């Protein structure tokens, strides 16, 4: 049954792969075949393809030109930065983060993966699993991306040979097995020709799975997955206390003079009116008396809704506080074990003074020690005196103020943080908590 | 021990169920929540935000989202409009009505003032869009604004597709696409140093169709020229251009009266109308859903200058 678009859901996915695996071509094909490329865009790309002699005398369209947005990218034929693309089918709207495959731009892969419901990883059917495939899969594993789709591309250049696909698929399964990744889907595709991208291809009769787009339409989004298992958390962004400055009609202004509500986006779980909640820091418990959204009163809210909570008691709650279901809140801690994805050209050394941002709370911190650097090929921890750009390392962090930190394994939102350079404000690293404590 | 006072806040009168499909929000609700989260983060972390407000549909939607984000309080920041001097009069009237209705402050930076005193020179092609950058940067500096909200969307242009939600700019307003901060999870890093400011784009992830469906759902008022109306137009560069004081036809360009509407509302000298009989929001949504041409391709002469036109303007401090 055709659904109306207003009922459709949002699904975010990222693409990853090594240089020349045909990632931009796949993205261009996906957009083109799902009719997301409009006539004037196609005209421009067709003209440029012809001018550059793409496809030789026979001509053809270089789909990579659709996604390479910057002049330097078009000139060098590479992708530099994450590009966001939008397309929709009858049931879903998609936000696609097209991430570059170059080693030096791994930080963009991390950027794309932190918000993704799924990652599509391209593998060249002729080359099989490369060093970088392993690395990207390790990143995806650490960041807990819910779904992994392996697109075994250029299957046309292998004459649609089932055995060639099976060999690559077996190699992929070995790696994902070692990494402990489940929910891995493997699809034979040709981005250039369009096999199994939008429609199932007659060229691969031995493959009985869904096309790439069919799969993307049916995978559950991360919020739907997390809502079922993670506890309710709302990091307070600000306190809504309009006092005199009300936007409602003057006749109602008096009624809102004492209005006070705690605004934020539900990070995980579900909250209902009448729920008993605990606030951290502070530790006070109270009851949710109302869930407001711009003049509407809701009976419940789920991640990722932006709402404002009214509470029965006037507790001391400011920006940075976390409201969560009573009995599920973690202890306040001042020490953490964490994995850092180091993203800055300046290396990390032990003793570095930084800022960390958890939810809506930014605090000073010191990186105490570097336990080691992850070897992404073996997943072993190697001794390291510093972390360089694109390294993933295990560190200990001391916080200036106690925070209700949780492990990333228990809660994606509450266990994730930024590491920020205090002077120039640069984002130095993406961090995930692996152990919190001891209690402060 | 003192008993905390009971919170006597009144409950709002409307009640509606949480609009979810299974455990997942519908796309418009998810986009709305994301935008409101961004707007609240910027207001919480910056000293002096301002919203660029032209009366165009995207900035109208951002203002609507801001009003929802801070209900029942007022929108806690002023608005800024860079007036090219070639704006559609009905859009300026709409802009002023909206500001008055919400009780907000509006600052206007005028390109005409800069041309009059020689700080800017009129371009040979008469297009004033690229001239907005200098008055914009001056107004940001004069207002000491550390955060500037805009209604730019990533689906508008290939360069904008690479833009961050919070985009750091130096004191020259420059965008450095090769050296952008990574944006991780929904944790936005707004730290900046003296002289820097941040451009914030709450509806980055919305498409043109999302914007129109949202306008329909929320019943948001827009300037009338977004809907089909009769207008005196002439053909230039494959677009219908309005006959006006700053957009007169050249010899050989024939003026006709047609039923048209505008998909984007910008400078009259470079914005074209499209043939359309979509006179209502619902009709526009139907039209956009089956459109085969992008909004900028259909209506913006300045983006046709080169493949990197938007990238070049953004590097110079444009939105």
pLDDT for A421-439, tens place per residue? 999 999 999 999 999 877 6
Distance from CA of B117 to the nearest CA of A (A): 35
Output the pLDDT for position A19. Answer: 65
Confidence of residue A78 (pLDDT cuts 50, 70, 90): low
Spatial CA neighbour of A172 closest among A196, A139, A142, A148: A148
Tokens 């009719």 found at: A35
Spatial CA neighbour of B306 closest among B164, B111, B159: B159
Same-domain status, B136 and B241: no
Distance (Å) of CA A143 to CA A17, A136, A183, A211, B281: 17, 11, 14, 26, 42
**Cβ of A229 under 8 Å from any chain B Cβ?**
no
Same-domain status, B124 and B53: yes
Same-domain status, B126 and B192: yes
- Backbone phi, then psi, for A239, in 5-degree steps? -100, 125
Are the C-beta atoms of B227 and B284 separated by less than 8 Å? yes
A93 DSSP β-pair partners: A10, A88
Contact at CB, B15 and A299, closer than 8 angstroms: yes
**Cβ of A1 under 8 Å from any chain B Cβ?**
no
* Residue B160's CATH number: 3.40.50.620
Question: For the residues A10-15, what does the mean pLDDT come to?
Answer: 93
Angle at A316 between CA A311 and CA A322, to 5 degrees: 70
Q: Using a pLDDT cut of 70, give the percent of chain A over it.
A: 87
Output the pLDDT for position B171. Answer: 80
Is the dihedral angle over the CA atoms B190, B191, B195, B196 positive or is it negative?
negative
| Structure tokens that stand for A284 in this block | 């006070």
3-state secondary structure chain A: CCCCHHHCEEEEEEEEECCCCCHHHHHHHHHHHCCCCCHHHHHHHHHHHHHCCCCHHHCCCCCHHHHCCCHHHHHHCCCCCCEEEEEECCCEEEEEEECCCCHHHHHHHHHHHHCCCEEEEEEECCCCCCHHHHHHHHHHHHCCCCEEEEEEECHHHHCCCHHHHHHHHHHHHHHHHHHCCCCEEEEECECCCCECCCCCCCCCCCCCCCCHHHHHHHCCCHHHHHHHHCCCEEECCEEECCCCCECCCHHHHHHHCCCCEEEEECCECEEECCCEEEEECCCCEEEEEEEEECCEEECEEECCCEEEEEECECCCCCCCCEEEECCCCCCCEEEEEEEEEECCCCCECCCCEEEEEECCEEEEEEEEEEEEEECCCCCCEECCCCECCCCEEEEEEEEEEEECCCCCCCCCCCCEEEEECCCCCCEEEEEEEEEECCEC
Q: Is B8 inside any structural domain?
A: no
Question: For the residues A278-307, what does the mean pLDDT come to?
Answer: 94
Contact at CB, A39 and B292, closer than 8 angstroms: yes
Output the pLDDT for position B298. Answer: 62
Parallel, antiparallel or unpaired: strands A392-403 and A306-311: unpaired
Instruction: List alpha helices for chain B, DSSP H.
Output: 27-45, 57-70, 89-102, 111-116, 133-142, 208-218, 281-289, 295-299, 309-315
Q: Is B18 inside any structural domain?
A: no
| Structure tokens that stand for A18 in this block | 């090594």
**Count of other CB atoms within 10 angstroms of residue A348:** 23
Give A5-220's CATH code, choosing from 3.40.50.1370, 3.40.640.10, 3.30.70.20, 3.40.50.300.
Answer: 3.40.50.300
Distance CA A144, CA A110 (A): 11
Question: Most A CBs within 10 Å: which of B12, B16, B156, B186, as the mutation test of the A interface?
Answer: B12
| Structure tokens that stand for B166 in this block | 């919070």
Q: Chain A residues with CB inside 8 Å of B304's CB?
A: none
| Residue span of the structural domain in which B286 resides | 223-305
Contact at CB, A115 and B10, closer than 8 angstroms: no
| pTM metric for this prediction | 0.91
| Structure tokens that stand for A214 in this block | 């069919």
Question: Among the listed ranges A139-143, A224-228, B100-104, B123-127, which one has the minimum average pLDDT value?
Answer: A224-228
Those of residues 357-416 in A touching chain B at CB distance below 8 A are 357, 359-360, 412-413, 416
Output the pLDDT for position A60. Answer: 63
In this prediction the ipTM stands at 0.92
Give the three-class secondary structure for B234: strand
Contact at CB, A265 and B9, closer than 8 angstroms: no
Output the pLDDT for position B1. Answer: 38
Q: Chain A residues with CB inside 8 Å of B298's CB?
A: 40
Residue in B with minimal Cα distance to A112? B184
| Structure tokens that stand for A242 in this block | 């309009």
Parallel, antiparallel or unpaired: strands A9-17 and A92-98: parallel
pLDDT in tens, A299-331: 999 999 999 999 999 999 999 999 999 999 999
Spatial CA neighbour of B42 closest among B197, B159, B195: B197
Confidence of residue A75 (pLDDT cuts 50, 70, 90): low
Distance CA A322, CA A233 (A): 7
Same-domain status, B156 and B51: yes
A38 versus B219: the higher-pLDDT residue is B219
- Backbone phi, then psi, for B6, in 5-degree steps? -75, 135
Q: Chain B residues with CB inside 8 Å of A315's CB?
A: 4
Distance CA A358, CA A73 (A): 34
Same-domain status, B191 and B123: yes
Question: Most A CBs within 10 Å: which of B73, B296, B297, B299, as the mutation test of the A interface?
Answer: B73
B232 DSSP β-pair partners: B257
A217 versus B319: the higher-pLDDT residue is A217
Distance CA B227, CA A99 (A): 38
Enter the DSSP assignment of B301: G
Q: Is B131 inside any structural domain?
A: yes
- What are the residue ranges of CATH 2.40.30.10 in chain A? 228-325, 333-436
Q: Chain A residues with CB inside 8 Å of B193's CB?
A: 423-425
Angle at B192 between CA B186 and CA B197, to 5 degrees: 95
Q: Is B54 inside any structural domain?
A: yes
**Cβ of B37 under 8 Å from any chain A Cβ?**
yes
**Residues 6+ positions from B120 with CB-CB distance below 8 Å:** B111, B114, B131, B134
Low-confidence spans in chain B with pLDDT less than 70? 1-23, 292-294, 296-315, 317-319
Output the pLDDT for position B6. Answer: 39
Provide the domain count of chain B. Answer: 2
Output the pLDDT for position A96. Answer: 92
**Cβ of A118 under 8 Å from any chain B Cβ?**
no
Angle at A331 between CA A329 and CA A332, to 5 degrees: 115
pLDDT in tens, B46-93: 999 999 999 999 999 999 999 999 999 999 999 999 999 988 999 999
Distance CA A175, CA A172 (A): 5
Are the C-beta atoms of B192 and B214 separated by less than 8 Å? no
Output the pLDDT for position B95. Answer: 96
Q: Using a pLDDT cut of 90, give the percent of chain A over it.
A: 57
Output the pLDDT for position A232. Answer: 95
Question: For the residues A76-93, what does the mean pLDDT come to?
Answer: 79
Contact at CB, B162 and A69, closer than 8 angstroms: yes
Output the pLDDT for position B3. Answer: 39
Question: Among the listed ranges A187-191, A227-231, B195-199, which one has the minimum average pLDDT value?
Answer: A227-231
Q: Is B92 inside any structural domain?
A: yes
Distance from CA of A397 to the nearest CA of B (A): 19
Q: At what angle do helices B57-70 and B208-218 cross, to 10 degrees?
A: 50
Contact at CB, B311 and A300, closer than 8 angstroms: no
Q: Chain A residues with CB inside 8 Å of B67's CB?
A: 247, 294
- What are the residue ranges of CATH 3.40.50.300 in chain A? 5-220
Output the pLDDT for position A102. Answer: 65
Q: Chain A residues with CB inside 8 Å of B18's CB?
A: 298-302, 305
**Residues 6+ positions from B27 with CB-CB distance below 8 Å:** A5, A6, A8, A9, A10, A92, A93, B210
Give A228-325's CATH code, choosing from 2.40.30.10, 3.40.50.300, 2.102.10.10, 2.40.50.140.
Answer: 2.40.30.10
B7 versus A411: the higher-pLDDT residue is A411
Question: Most B CBs within 10 Å: which of A65, A85, A221, A259, as the mutation test of the B interface?
Answer: A259
pLDDT(A5) > 60: no
Same-domain status, B89 and B203: yes
Those of residues 87-106 in A touching chain B at CB distance below 8 A are 88, 92-93, 95
Distance CA B45, CA A22 (A): 41
Question: Most B CBs within 10 Å: which of A294, A311, A312, A421, as the mutation test of the B interface?
Answer: A294
Output the pLDDT for position B269. Answer: 75
Output the pLDDT for position A23. Answer: 80
Superfamily of domain A333-436 in the CATH hierarchy? Translation factors (2.40.30.10)
Same-domain status, B44 and B92: yes
Same-domain status, B58 and B164: yes
Burial label, A289 (beta-carbon count in 10 A; 0-12, 13-18, 19+): middle
């Amino acid at each position: 049954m055709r659904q109306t678009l207003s009922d459709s859901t949002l699904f975010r996915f990222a693409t990853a792969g090594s240089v020349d695996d045909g990632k931009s071509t796949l993205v261009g094909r996906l957009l083109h075949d799902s009719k997301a490329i409009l006539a004037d865009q196609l005209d421009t790309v067709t003209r440029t393809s012809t001018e550059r002699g793409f496809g030789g005398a026979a001509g053809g369209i270089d789909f990579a030109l659709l996604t390479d947005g910057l002049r330097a990218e078009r000139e060098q034929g590479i992708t530099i930065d994450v590009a966001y693309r939008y397309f929709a089918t009858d049931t879903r709207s998609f936000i696609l983060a097209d991430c570059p495959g170059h080693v030096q731009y791994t930080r963009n892969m991390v950027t794309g993966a932190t918000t993704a419901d799924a990652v599509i990883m391209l593998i060249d059917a002729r080359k099989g699993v490369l060093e970088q495939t392993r690395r990207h899969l390790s990143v995806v594993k650490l960041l807990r991306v819910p779904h992994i789709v392996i697109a075994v591309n250029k299957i046309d250049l292998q004459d649609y040979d089932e055995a060639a696909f099976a060999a690559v698929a077996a190699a992929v399964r070995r790696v994902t097995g070692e990494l402990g990744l489940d929910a891995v889907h493997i699809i034979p595709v040709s981005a250039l020709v369009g096999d199994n991208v939008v429609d199932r291809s007659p060229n691969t009769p031995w493959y009985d799975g869904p096309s790439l787009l069919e799969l993307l339409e049916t995978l559950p989004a991360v919020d739907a997955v997390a809502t079922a298992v993670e506890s309710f958390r709302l990091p307070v962004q600000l306190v809504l206390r309009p006092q005199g400055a009300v936007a409602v009609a003057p006749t109602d202004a008096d009624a809102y003079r004492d209005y006070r509500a705690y605004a934020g986006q539900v990070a995980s779980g579900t909250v209902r009116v009448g729920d008993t909640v605990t606030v951290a820091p502070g530790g006070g418990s109270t009851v949710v008396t109302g869930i407001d959204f711009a003049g509407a009163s809701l009976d419940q809210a789920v991640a990722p809704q932006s709402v404002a909570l009214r509470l029965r008691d006037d507790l001391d709650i400011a920006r940075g506080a976390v409201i969560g279901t009573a009995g599920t809140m973690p202890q306040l801690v001042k020490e953490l074990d964490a994995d850092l994805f180091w993203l800055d050209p300046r290396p990390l050394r032990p003793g570095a003074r930084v800022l960390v941002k958890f939810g809506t709370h930014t605090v000073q911190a010191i990186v105490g020690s570097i336990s080691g650097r992850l070897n992404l090929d073996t997943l072993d921890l190697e001794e390291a005196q510093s972390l360089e750009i694109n390294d993933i390392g295990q560190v200990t962090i001391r916080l200036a103020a106690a925070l209700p930190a949780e492990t990333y394994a228990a809660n994606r939102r509450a266990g994730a943080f930024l590491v920020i350079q205090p002077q120039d404000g640069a984002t130095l690293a993406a961090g995930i908590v692996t152990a919190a404590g001891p209690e402060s | 021990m003192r008993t905390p006072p009971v919170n006597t806040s009144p409950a709002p009168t409307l009640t509606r169920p949480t609009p979810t499909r299974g455990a997942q929000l519908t796309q418009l609700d998810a986009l709305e929540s994301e935008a409101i989260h961004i707007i609240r983060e910027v207001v919480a972390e910056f000293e002096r935000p301002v919203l660029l407000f032209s009366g165009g549909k995207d900035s109208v939607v951002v203002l609507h989202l801001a009003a929802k984000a801070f209900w029942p309080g007022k929108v806690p920041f002023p608005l800024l409009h860079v007036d090219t001097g070639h704006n559609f009069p009905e859009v300026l009237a709409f802009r002023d009505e909206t500001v008055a209705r919400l009780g907000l402050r509006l600052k206007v930076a005028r390109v005409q003032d800069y041309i009059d005193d020689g700080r800017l020179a009129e371009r040979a092609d008469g297009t004033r869009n690229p001239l907005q950058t200098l008055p914009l940067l001056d107004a940001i500096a004069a207002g000491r604004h550390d955060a500037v909200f805009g209604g730019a969307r990533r689906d508008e242009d290939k360069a904008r597709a690479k833009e961050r939600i919070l985009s750091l700019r130096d004191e020259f307003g420059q965008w450095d696409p090769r050296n952008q901060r990574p944006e991780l999870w929904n944790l936005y890093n707004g730290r900046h140093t003296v002289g820097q400011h941040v451009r914030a784009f709450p509806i980055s992830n919305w498409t043109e169709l999302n914007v129109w469906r949202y306008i329909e759902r929320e019943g948001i008022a827009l300037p009338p020229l977004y809907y089909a109306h009769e207008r005196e137009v002439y053909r230039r560069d494959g677009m219908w251009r309005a006959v006006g004081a700053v957009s007169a036809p050249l010899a050989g360009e024939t003026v006709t009266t047609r039923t048209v509407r505008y998909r984007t509302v910008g400078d009259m000298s470079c914005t074209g109308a499209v043939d359309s009989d979509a006179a209502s929001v619902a009709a526009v949504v139907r039209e956009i859903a089956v459109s085969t041409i992008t909004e900028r391709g259909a209506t913006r002469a300045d983006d046709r200058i080169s493949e990197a036109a938007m990238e070049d303007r953004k590097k110079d401090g444009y939105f």
